[in-house]
Amino acid sequence: MNRGFWGKLKKPIFALAPMANVTDAAFRRIIAERGKPDVMWTEFVSADGLCSKGRKNLLIDLRFSERERPIVAQFFGAAPEHFYRVAQLAQELGFDGIDINMGCPDRSVLKQGAGAALIDNPKLAKEIILAAQRGAGKLPVSVKTRIGGTENIIREWMLHLLDVQPAAIIIHARTRKELSLVPARWETVADAVRVVHEESSPRSRPLVLGNGDVKNLAEARLRARETGADGIMVGRGIFGNPWFFNKRRRLLPSREEKLLVLIEHIRIFNRLLGKHKNFDIMRKHFKAYVGGFDGAKELRISLMCAQDAREAMQVLNRALKQTKSRGESAATR
C-alpha cells in the first residue's frame, strides 16, 4: 500500500475538511498562519471539468501555498478515465495526496452519479479508486465518504473500499439522506475502525478518520479516543475560527482579533481570487467572524450591504477604530 505522507503523521491526525466555496486558497492561508492542521484539503473540483475545455477556469481551485503542506487535492466525478488524468495533474501541480469525493449529497453531483451516489455503485467506485491510483504515481489516494445512502451500511461499504486499499478513508458519520440534519453518529466510525482492523492486515490497512459536528480540539481528541480512529476531520467548526487547530492557544479571540483577521481574509481573497470568483462567497464568512460581541448584528448588516472588498474593508476599519477607541476609553477610566 502507498501511504505516502500519511505514514509520517503523528496520531491522532487532525485534518481540514474540503468545503465548497469555503476552504478556498484564501481561507486556507488564513488557517495555515493561525493554526495549521496536520493535513489540508482543497475544495472539491470536478474531474470531468478538468478534462474539458473549462479546465483553465477550474485550476484556480487547485491553487495552494507551501505553508499548507501536506495538502490533498479532492476531485469528484463518475468517469474512471478522468480520475486517471486528474491524478496525473495532481502530480504535476505538486500535491501531496489525492482524495476522491464519495460523500457529497448535493443533487447536482448525485445526478452525475458522483459523490455519495457512488456508495450505491461499489463496482464503479472501485474502478475510480484504481484508476486514480494508477495515475497518482507516488501520491497516496484517499476516499472521503459517508456511512451509507439511505441507511447505514458501513460494514458492507468498508469491505468494498478495503478491496482496493486506499491510503485513508474519511467517514462523515451520517448517511447521504441525513445530509447534516441529524447529529453525527460517531458509533459508526468506531464500527468502521473495527471492520478495518478485523478485515485487513497491518501492511494493507488504511487509516480511518472520522468527521461530523466536532466543535473544538478537545472534542476532536475525545472522538479519536472513543472510536479508535486514526484522526479527525473538521468542517463547520472552523468557520470564523482559524485558530481551531492551534494547540497552544487557550483564550477565545477578542473582537479586535476577529475584525483584523476578517480584514486580512478579505484582502487575500481579493488578491488571489477576486478576478475569478464573486465577492458574494465572502459573505458567508461575515456571520462566522462577526458574532459574540456587542454591536455584532449591526456590523454584519453593514457588511452584507458592501458591494465589494473595498467597501467591506472600509466598514471593518471603521468598526476597528471604534473598538480601539472603546478600549482606550475603558483603560483611562
Under a CB-based contact definition with an 8 Å cutoff, are residues 243 and 249 in contact?
Answer: yes
Q: Which three cell numbers stand for residue 95?
A: 500535491
Predicted local distance difference test score (pLDDT) of residue 333: 30
Tell me the residue type at 98: I
> Half-sphere exposure of 233 toward its Cβ, with a 13 Å CA cutoff?
27
Give the pLDDT band of residue 209 (cuts 50, 70, 90).
very high
Q: How confident is the model at residue 327 (pLDDT cuts 50, 70, 90)?
A: low
What are the domain boundaries of the chain? 4-238, 255-332
Measured distance CA(259)–CA(271) in Å, rounded: 18
Encode pLDDT of 47-94 as tens digits: 999 999 989 999 999 999 999 999 999 999 999 999 999 999 999 999
Residue 328 vs residues 3, 200, 296, 321: alpha-carbon distances, Å: 54, 62, 20, 11
Q: What is the pTM of this model?
A: 0.94
On the question of a cis peptide bond just before residue 70, with omega within 30 degrees of 0, the verdict is yes
d(CA 31, CA 17): 12
Residue 13 has pLDDT above 50, yes or no: yes
In the prediction, which pLDDT does 326 show?
66
For the chain, counts of helices (H) and of strands (E): 13, 8
**What pLDDT, on a 0 to 100 scale, did the predictor assign at position 184?**
97
Condensed to tens digits (0 to 9), the pLDDT of residues 233-245 reads 999 999 989 999 9
Active site residues: 104
Question: What Å distances lie between residue 240 and 34, 110, 234, CA to CA?
Answer: 12, 29, 13
Mean pLDDT estimate for the chain: 94
Q: Sheet holding 168-172: strands in order across? A: 13-16, 231-234, 207-211, 168-172, 141-146, 97-102, 71-76, 40-46
pLDDT at 23 over 80: yes
Contact between 83 and 131 under an 8 Å Cβ cutoff? The reply is yes
Q: Is the pLDDT of residue 330 over 50?
A: no
Per CATH, the homologous superfamily of domain 4-238 is: Aldolase class I (3.20.20.70)
Q: Is the pLDDT of residue 328 over 70?
A: no
- The Cβ of residue 257 has, within 10 Å, a number of other Cβ atoms equal to 14
Nearest to 273 by CA among 56, 6, 60: 60
pLDDT tens for 107-162 read 999 999 999 999 999 999 999 999 999 999 999 999 999 999 999 999 999 999 99
Q: Give me the pLDDT at residue 47, please.
A: 98
